[in-house]
Structure 1
Amino acid sequence: MAESVRFERYDRVIDTDPARLDLDLLHGYFSVSDQCFGLPLETLRRMIAGSINFGLYEKDSRQIGYGRVVSDRAAFAYIGDVFLVEEARGQGLGTWLIDCMKAHPELQGLRRWMLMCGPRTVDLYRRAGFLDNSGAGYLMHMTDKDIYRRALSEPPSKS
């Protein structure tokens, strides 16, 4: 496993050490969000294990943001699950978080970075250098938005 990378700015820190992540904060946010309502804690753990994680912290170590990158570390990276707690928004921290992701030593020289976002965050990603897909071919995806909701309502399987 790679060593964690740390970025500091004023009274804030971004750290890639997954052991430092506040799983209660992350699970609390993601399990009620539109993007992955009902996310099981074990699935969150697997997401973290398969990613380069970027936790954003106040100097007192309270986590106030998160984002992750899934990459082959050679040609491609996907940014996902970026969020800031409400009181941390509007301070340029989202831009800094994306900049730190792009500056990570294991993610240099990549040909393509991708992400999907909602209309509220388009300007953030444009400021970070991302372009809309128009004219660049087709961005295709398959999403099962209800996968975790269904799992909550289905009875456990009998072994």
Structure 2
Amino acid sequence: MKYDITSDRSRIDFDRVYAFINGQSYWAQGIPRELFDRAMANSLCFGGWLGGEQIAFARVISDYATFANLVDVYVEREFRGMGYASALLEAVFAHPDLQGLRRFMLATSDAHHLYARFGFHAPARPDTLMERYHPDIYKG
């Protein structure tokens, strides 16, 4: 079957993405739908389809000039380990609006090996990075 990746928002099944992120992700379970919708509307989104079924997703938050943050990357469980995540990331990093950026960041708890293949590593100067992090913000 052909694996197809696009950033055409009209093809992305955001209901399916919401069901995964809200119900199965470790990073945003419980996110209210209105916040999810606002996040999607203000991001460059990518979907991956195998045959006619959407099985993967990623989004990028960026100023399209200097900085981008890769978030919400997933491949549905039954399709993991088959190269679909790598193909999705190749499409993300090849997107013309994401070229020439000074910094591309992401946060992951479990896929360091995957992102290392695309040049990601621990921050060169972690002492210069700070964050405000509220991991349980969506839990009622």
1:24 Cα deviation from its structure 2 partner = 2.4
What is aligned with 2:29?
37
Task: With the length of structure 1 as denominator, give the TM-score of the two structures.
Answer: 0.81
Q: Deviations over 1:78-131 (max 9, x none)?
A: 10010000122111111111111110011111111100001x200000011111
1:19 Cα deviation from its structure 2 partner = 2.2
CA distance in structure 2 between the partners assigned to 1:122 and 1:128 by the alignment? 10
8 A Cα contact 1:76 1:111, kept in partner: yes
Q: Deviations over 1:30-87 (max 9, x none)?
A: 1123211111111111111100001011132x11000000111111111001000012
CA distance in structure 2 between the partners assigned to 1:128 and 1:100 by the alignment? 12
8 A Cα contact 1:79 1:113, kept in partner: yes
The correspondence of residues 9-158 of structure 1 with structure 2, limited to 5 A, is 11-32=2-23, 33-60=25-52, 62-118=53-109, 120-133=110-123, 135-138=124-127, 139-150=129-140
**RMSD in angstroms over aligned alpha carbons?**
1.4
Letter of the 1:44 partner, please give it. Answer: F
Gaps of 5+ in 2: none
CA distance in structure 2 between the partners assigned to 1:76 and 1:18 by the alignment? 22
CA distance in structure 1 between the partners assigned to 2:102 and 2:57 by the alignment? 24
Count of residue pairs brought into register by the alignment: 138
CA distance in structure 2 between the partners assigned to 1:16 and 1:77 by the alignment? 16
**Larger relative contact order (CA 8 Å, sep ≥ 6):** 2
8 A Cα contact 1:18 1:48, kept in partner: no
Q: Which runs of 4+ in 1 moved over 6 A?
A: none
CA distance in structure 2 between the partners assigned to 1:137 and 1:144 by the alignment? 19
1:23 Cα deviation from its structure 2 partner = 2.2
CA distance in structure 2 between the partners assigned to 1:109 and 1:23 by the alignment? 29
1:137 Cα deviation from its structure 2 partner = 3.2
What is aligned with 1:155?
none
Task: With the length of structure 2 as denominator, give the TM-score of the two structures.
Answer: 0.91
